[in-house]
Amino acid sequence: MKERVKVVVTGAAGQISYSLIPRLVDGHTFGDKIVDLELVEIPQVVEKLEGLVMELEDSNFPNMGNVNYTSDFEKAAKDADWFLLVGSIPRGIVYNGKKIEERADLLQINGGIFVGQGKAIGEHGKPNAKILVVGNPANTNALIGRHAANNESQLWMAMTMLDSSRAQSVLSKKLNTGISDISKMIIWGNHSPTMYPDFENMDCNGQSGKDLIDDMDWINGEFLPTVQQRGKAVIDSRGASSATSAAKAALDTVVACENPTASGDCFSAAVMTDGSYGLPDGIICGMPLRTLADGSVEIVSGIELSDFAKEKILISTNELLEERAAVMELLQ
Ligand SMILES: NC(=O)c1ccc[n+]([C@@H]2O[C@H](COP(=O)([O-])OP(=O)(O)OC[C@H]3O[C@@H](n4cnc5c(N)ncnc54)[C@H](O)[C@@H]3O)[C@@H](O)[C@H]2O)c1
């Protein structure tokens, strides 16, 4: 009998999910395992998921198990192994009669959603469940969800893999090399324009970025702004936020957690700080991670940070502290 994995996806009728969900059952992300899906949406939208389920059935994915759709998150959470929390209220939408423009309002509304979802995950998810928050503001949503879950054996992450992929892409062009030659691409801090893509510790065929790139004008004038502002550039061009690349990054994060990390390598996601690298306590911060043979995920130690890197990371962790202060009442 094949192993089964149960995956909950919120925001299942949204743009990212349309690219993400089929690839959860295509035999790549979870290998041979049979994937049971719980697709979650808000009540106003949930019926749309019937069409998506029809499409999934019509695609004849051999690894697809049971597929349900619901607006009852608590029910969906029962014994789930993975939670891909994509659903959130975007900036600019009218919510309860008010147009949501301010980051503070966005933090409050989405934060509120993550209290309920976090509690349900803590109570009903598997003890070793992994949770990837994609919906923005991802780090602070994850902080709120993790606090509400109050379950130390589960792993809460906020997605920074898309930032890491973007940085790899820009560096591979600069170094005129293939994308797969670039590894150890660490994103420090917040999933926001303050995040710091660590070009110095990146590895390209055994050489570090620090040794390969001796052009701080390019780093400051091109590399950092391109990676940090890429989300906005996509929105400006497409009129909608990154969807297919965000879906690919979520899948890459799952794959990175499901398989042991190669020796010397690491992958990027934001997790709870643990005192390493002098980062402030109590924030969900982008860091280098690795997956061990037993499936557990740990923070990689021993990465050297230059003064330049420390300065940039401080800007991002200060932003995370400000976000935390704005939602403090959700963390009591
Ligand atoms: N971390 C990243 O790298 C990254 C990258 C791109 C986008 N994002 C974020 O991902 C989120 C989703 O993006 P999208 O383009 O798919 O948006 P979208 O608006 O197309 O879809 C979001 C969906 O979430 C649903 N939703 C809202 N609240 C929900 C709740 N409480 N439970 C279940 N579903 C709920 C909405 O009904 C909607 O269908 C946004 O917050 C976006 O900013 C993050």
Torsion angle (degrees, nearest 10) of CA 8, 9, 12, 17? -140
State the distance from the centre of ligand 1 to the C-alpha of 301, rounded, in angstroms: 32
| pLDDT score of 221 | 97
DSSP state of 189: B
Q: Which of 86, 163, 268 to mutate to test the pocket of ligand 1 (most atoms within 8 A of CB)?
A: 86
Res. 55: pLDDT tops 80: yes
Between CA 87 and CA 108 the distance in angstroms is: 15
Q: Judge if the beta carbon of residue 137 lies within 6 A of ligand 1.
A: no
Q: Is 68 annotated to bind ligand?
A: no
Q: Judge if the beta carbon of residue 45 lies within 6 A of ligand 1.
A: yes
Torsion angle (degrees, nearest 10) of CA 238, 243, 244, 246? 130
- Supply the residue whose CA is at minimum distance from atom 9 of ligand 1: 135
Q: Which of 42, 85, 192 to mutate to test the pocket of ligand 1 (most atoms within 8 A of CB)?
A: 42
In this structure, of 17-26, 55-64, 230-239, the range with the lowest mean pLDDT score is: 230-239
Q: Respond yes or no: is residue 147 known to be catalytic.
A: no
Q: Is 23 annotated to bind ligand?
A: no
Cα–Cα nearest to 146, from 284, 327, 280: 284
**What is the 3-state secondary structure of 194-238?**
CCEECCCCCEECCEEHHHHCCCHHHHHHHHHHHHHCHHHHHHHHH
Tell me what the pLDDT averaged over the chain comes to: 95
Q: Judge if the beta carbon of residue 247 lies within 6 A of ligand 1.
A: no
Res. 99: pLDDT tops 80: no
Res. 327: pLDDT tops 70: yes
pLDDT band at 97 (very low <50, low <70, confident <90, very high): confident
Find where tokens 């990676």 sit.
Answer: 227
Phi and psi torsions of 182, nearest 5° = -100, 125
Domain 4-158 homologous superfamily, CATH: NAD(P)-binding Rossmann-like Domain (3.40.50.720)
Work out the average pLDDT over 29-51: 96
Is the separation of the CB atoms in 199 and 223 below 8 Å? yes
Work out the average pLDDT over 269-286: 98
Position with higher pLDDT, 194 vs 96: 194
Query: Which atom of ligand 1 is nearest the CA belonging to 18?
Result: 16
Q: Is 190 annotated to bind ligand?
A: no
Between CA 319 and CA 31 the distance in angstroms is: 38
| pLDDT score of 94 | 74
- Supply the residue whose CA is at minimum distance from atom 10 of ligand 1: 135
Q: Judge if the beta carbon of residue 287 lies within 6 A of ligand 1.
A: no
Q: Judge if the beta carbon of residue 88 lies within 6 A of ligand 1.
A: yes
Task: For 129-180, write each residue's pLDDT tens digit.
Answer: 999 999 999 999 999 999 999 999 999 999 999 999 999 999 999 999 999 9
Phi and psi torsions of 73, nearest 5° = -60, -40
| pLDDT score of 89 | 81
Between CA 61 and CA 205 the distance in angstroms is: 36
Q: Is 230 annotated to bind ligand?
A: no
| pLDDT score of 184 | 97
> Domain extents for the chain?
4-158, 161-328
Helix axis angle for 230-238 and 161-174, nearest 10°, is 90
State the distance from the centre of ligand 1 to the C-alpha of 238, rounded, in angstroms: 16
Q: Which of 28, 124, 147, 191 is catalytic?
A: 191
Between CA 200 and CA 156 the distance in angstroms is: 27
Work out the average pLDDT over 190-198: 96
User: Could you give the percent of the chain with pLDDT greater than 70?
Assistant: 99
| pLDDT score of 112 | 86
State the distance from the centre of ligand 1 to the C-alpha of 11, rounded, in angstroms: 5
Find where tokens 């928050």 sit.
Answer: 133
State the distance from the centre of ligand 1 to the C-alpha of 73, rounded, in angstroms: 15
State the distance from the centre of ligand 1 to the C-alpha of 159, rounded, in angstroms: 13
Q: How many other CB atoms are there within 10 angstroms of residue 53's CB atom?
A: 16
Topology of domain 161-328 in CATH is L-2-Hydroxyisocaproate Dehydrogenase; Chain A, domain 2 (3.90.110)
* Pairing relationship of beta strands 196-197 and 155-158 according to DSSP bridges: unpaired
Q: How far is Cα of residue 14 from the mean position of the Cα atoms in its chain? A: 16
pLDDT band at 92 (very low <50, low <70, confident <90, very high): low
Residue 105: partners with Cβ closer than 8 Å, 6 or more residues away: 98
Q: Is 136 annotated to bind ligand?
A: yes
Strand ranges (E), 11-158: 34-40, 64-70, 82-85, 94-95, 98-99, 130-133, 155-158
